[in-house]
Chains A and B, each alone.
Chain A
Amino acid sequence: MTVKDHSSADDQTLVRASQRGDMAAFEELVARHRDRVYARAYGMMRNEEEAIDLSQEAWVKGWQRLRQFHGESSFGTWMTRIIINLCLDQLRKHKRQRAESIEAMEEESGGVERQMPVITVNPTAGLERSELRQRIDQALGQLSYEHRMSLVLHEFEGMEYKEIAKTMGCSIGTVMSRLFYARRKLAALLADLKNRNSV
Chain B
Amino acid sequence: MDYKAQLKLQALLDGELPEGEASAVTKWVAEDCEAAALLEELRNTRGALAEFEAEVRLPESREFFWSKVEREIQRLETPAPKPARESYWALVRRFLVPASAVAVVLLAGLMLIRPAGSTGRSVATDIETALADSGAFTYRDYSAGTTLVWLSYPADNEVVDSDEMDTFE
Instruction: Please name the residue on chain A nearest to B62 by beta carbon.
Output: A31
Expressed in whole angstroms, the Cα–Cα distance for A186 and B45 within the complex equals 7
In the complex, which residues 100-138 of chain A have their Cβ closer than 8 Å to any Cβ of chain B?
111, 114, 118-120, 122-124, 129-130, 132-133, 136-137
Give chain B interface residues in 1-53, CB to chain A under 8 Å. 3, 6-7, 10-11, 14, 16, 34, 37-38, 40-42, 44-53
| A136–B44 CA distance with the chains assembled, in angstroms | 12
Interface stretch among A8-16, A52-60, A70-78?
A52-60
Pairwise interchain contact B58-A35, C-beta atoms closer than 8 A? yes
Chain A residues contacting B42 (CB-CB under 8 Å) are 183-184, 187
Q: Are A129 and B49 in contact (CB under 8 A)?
A: no
Contact across chains for A55 and B58 when beta carbons are under 8 A apart:
yes
| Residues of chain B contacted by A122 (CB below 8 angstroms) | 44, 47-48
State the main secondary structure of chain B at its contact with A: helix
Chain A residues with Cβ under 8 A from B56's Cβ? Answer: 35, 38-39, 42-43, 133
Q: Is residue B60 within 8 Å, beta carbon to beta carbon, of the partner chain? A: yes
With an 8 A cutoff between CB atoms, is A89 at the interface? no
Nearest opposing residue in chain B for A37, CB measure: B58
Taking the complex as formed, is A69 at the interface, i.e. its CB lies under 8 A from any CB of chain B? no
Cα–Cα, bound, A151→B14 (Å): 12
Contacts of A63 in B (CB 8 A): 69, 73
Contact A119-B76, Cβ < 8 Å, known A35-B56, A133-B55, A156-B53:
no
Task: List residues of chain A with CB within 8 A of the CB of B7.
Answer: 176-177, 180
Interface status of A48 (Cβ within 8 A of chain B): yes
Q: Is the CB of A132 within 8 A of B6?
A: no
Tell me the number of A-to-B contacts counted with CB atoms below 8 Å. Answer: 120
Task: Label chain A's interface by main secondary structure.
Answer: helix
- A86 at interface, CB cutoff 8 A: no
Minimum Cβ distance to chain A for residue B48 (Å):
4
Select which of B11, B41, B59, B66 is within 8 A of A48 by beta carbon: B59
Q: Is B137 an interface residue (CB 8 A)?
A: no
Closest residue on chain B to residue A113 by CB atoms? B6
Inter-chain contacts of B66 with A (CB < 8 A): 27, 30-31
A75→B44 CA distance, assembly (Å) = 30
Given A23-B70, A183-B45, A38–B37 Cβ distance below 8 Å?
Answer: no
Q: Verify if B72 is at the interface (C-beta below 8 Å from A).
A: yes
Nearest-Cβ distance from residue A171 to partner chain B, whole angstroms: 13
Bound CA–CA A92/B7 (angstroms): 27
Residues of B within 8 A of A (CB): 3, 6-7, 10-11, 14, 16, 34, 37-38, 40-42, 44-53, 55-60, 62, 65-66, 68-70, 72-73, 76
Q: Tell me the A residues contacting B by CB distance below 8 Å.
A: 23, 27, 30-31, 34-35, 37-39, 42-43, 48, 52, 55-56, 59-60, 63-64, 111, 114, 118-120, 122-124, 129-130, 132-133, 136-137, 140, 151, 154-156, 160-161, 176-177, 179-180, 183-184, 186-187, 190
Q: A55-B58, A190-B45 are in contact. List 15 more A-B contacts (CB 8 A).
A: A35-B56, A35-B58, A38-B56, A38-B57, A52-B58, A122-B44, A136-B49, A137-B52, A155-B53, A161-B16, A180-B7, A183-B46, A184-B41, A186-B45, A187-B42
